[in-house]
C-alpha cells in the first residue's frame, strides 16, 4: 500500500481526501490510500514519512504552506518564486529521502481563468493577501494582467477596503476574492466593496467553493457580471498533483 495525504492544522472537511478516494474507486486504482494528517508541528510529520517508506507525497494546506519549506530539498520554479508549497513529492534514492515542493494552486487558477478572459479584463483587484493569494499574483503576472492588492491594512496591500470607490471598481474589470470572507458557514458575508461599480463587463472570481455561489458572486451576477467559483481550480490542481506523484508511484 502506497500512501498520500494532506497535512495542515486543524483539518476539518477535506476536498482532497474526498476527491482522491472517489478517483481511486472510479478509476480502479488499487494499493494506494489518501488520508488526513493534522499536525500542528511539522517535526511530528517528518518522523512519520522518514520511518514509513510507503509515503509517496502529500498536499499541504494552512498553516504550513510556507513553513514546510524548511523540510524541502528542492523547489519547482513556481514554488520557488511564490515561496509557498501545496504539493510535495517524496523521492527515495539510495537510502536518501528527498522532498521536492510544488505549487499547483497557480496551475489550477490559471487554467480555470484563461477561458473566461475577455479583452476588457486588462487589470485586476485582488481581495486578500494570504497563502492562496500568492498563486493568484503569480498567475496574473504570467498572464501580463496588472493588479492591485486590497487588504484591511495598508501595510499588507496597495489599497484598503475603505479606499475603494465605485469608480475604481468600474475601472478594474477583473475582481478576485482570495479572502475567506463568505466561506461556509458564514455565507451571509462578502468583501466590503462598492458593488455598485460592477457592470456587465466584469468578471468576478471567488476562490471559495463552499458555498457554490458566495454572496460576492451573487452580488456580481445581480449586476450582470460573469462569475466563477473556486471548484474547478481545486479539481485542476488535484489532477496536477496526481501527475506529479505518479512519477513516484
Cα gap 98→173, rounded to integer Å = 43
Q: What is the SS3 assignment for 121?
A: coil
pLDDT higher than 90, residue 154: no
Share of the chain above pLDDT 90, in %: 85
For residue 85, what pLDDT is reported?
A: 95
Q: How far, in Å, CA of 229 to CA of 91, rounded?
A: 34
Q: Examine residue 185 and say whether the peptide bond preceding it is cis (omega within 30 degrees of 0).
A: yes
Active centre residues (catalytic): 65
Q: How confident is the model over 114-143, as a mean pLDDT?
A: 95
Helix (H) or strand (E) holding 152: none
Across the strands, what pairs with 8?
A: 38
Question: Other CB atoms closer than 10 Å to residue 148's CB: what's the count?
Answer: 14
Which tens digit of pLDDT belongs to each residue from 203-217?
A: 999 999 999 999 999
Confidence category of residue 95, pLDDT binned at 50, 70, 90: confident
> Hey, how many other C-beta atoms are within 10 angstroms of the C-beta on 99?
19
DSSP bridge partners of 74: 100
How far is the C-alpha of 184 from the C-alpha of 211, rounded, in Å?
6
Residue 249 has pLDDT above 80, yes or no: no
Query: What is residue 205's predicted lDDT score, i.e. its pLDDT?
Result: 98
DSSP for 204-228? EEES--SSSS-HHHHHHHHTT-EEE
Q: Which residue has the cell 490559471?
A: 110
Residue, of 50 and 171, whose pLDDT is higher: 171
pLDDT for 8: 92
pLDDT of the residue at 187: 96
Average the pLDDT over 144-163 and give the result. Answer: 93
Q: What is the pLDDT of residues 73-86, one digit of tens each?
A: 999 999 999 999 99
pLDDT digits (tens, 9 = 90+) for 10-38: 897 789 999 999 999 999 999 999 999 99
Amino acid at each position: 500500500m502506497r500512501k498520500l495525504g494532506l497535512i495542515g492544522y486543524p483539518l476539518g472537511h477535506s476536498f482532497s481526501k474526498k476527491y482522491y478516494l472517489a478517483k481511486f474507486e472510479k478509476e480502479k486504482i488499487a494499493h494506494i490510500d489518501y488520508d488526513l494528517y493534522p499536525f500542528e508541528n511539522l517535526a511530528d510529520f517528518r518522523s512519520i514519512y522518514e520511518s514509513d517508506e510507503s509515503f509517496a507525497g502529500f498536499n499541504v494546506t494552512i498553516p504550513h504552506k510556507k513553513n514546510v519549506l524548511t523540510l524541502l530539498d528542492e523547489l519547482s520554479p513556481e514554488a520557488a518564486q511564490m515561496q509557498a508549497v501545496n504539493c510535495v513529492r517524496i523521492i527515495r534514492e539510495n537510502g536518501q529521502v528527498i522532498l521536492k515542493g510544488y505549487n499547483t494552486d497557480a496551475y489550477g487558477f490559471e487554467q480555470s481563468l484563461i477561458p473566461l478572459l475577455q479583452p476588457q479584463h486588462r487589470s485586476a483587484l485582488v481581495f486578500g493577501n494570504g497563502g492562496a493569494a500568492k498563486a493568484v499574483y503569480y498567475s496574473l503576472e504570467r498572464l501580463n494582467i496588472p493588479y492591485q492588492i486590497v487588504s484591511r491594512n495598508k501595510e499588507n496591500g496597495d489599497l484598503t477596503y475603505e479606499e475603494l470607490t465605485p469608480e475604481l471598481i468600474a475601472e478594474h474589470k477583473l475582481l478576485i476574492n482570495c479572502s475567506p470572507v463568505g466561506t461556509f458557514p458564514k455565507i451571509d458575508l462578502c468583501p466590503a466593496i462598492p458593488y455598485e461599480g460592477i457592470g456587465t463587463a466584469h468578471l468576478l472570481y471567488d476562490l471559495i467553493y463552499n458555498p457554490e455561489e458566495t454572496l460576492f458572486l451573487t452580488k456580481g451576477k445581480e449586476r450582470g457580471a460573469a462569475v466563477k467559483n473556486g471548484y474547478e481550480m481545486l479539481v485542476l490542481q488535484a489532477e496536477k498533483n496526481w501527475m506529479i506523484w505518479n512519477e513516484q508511484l
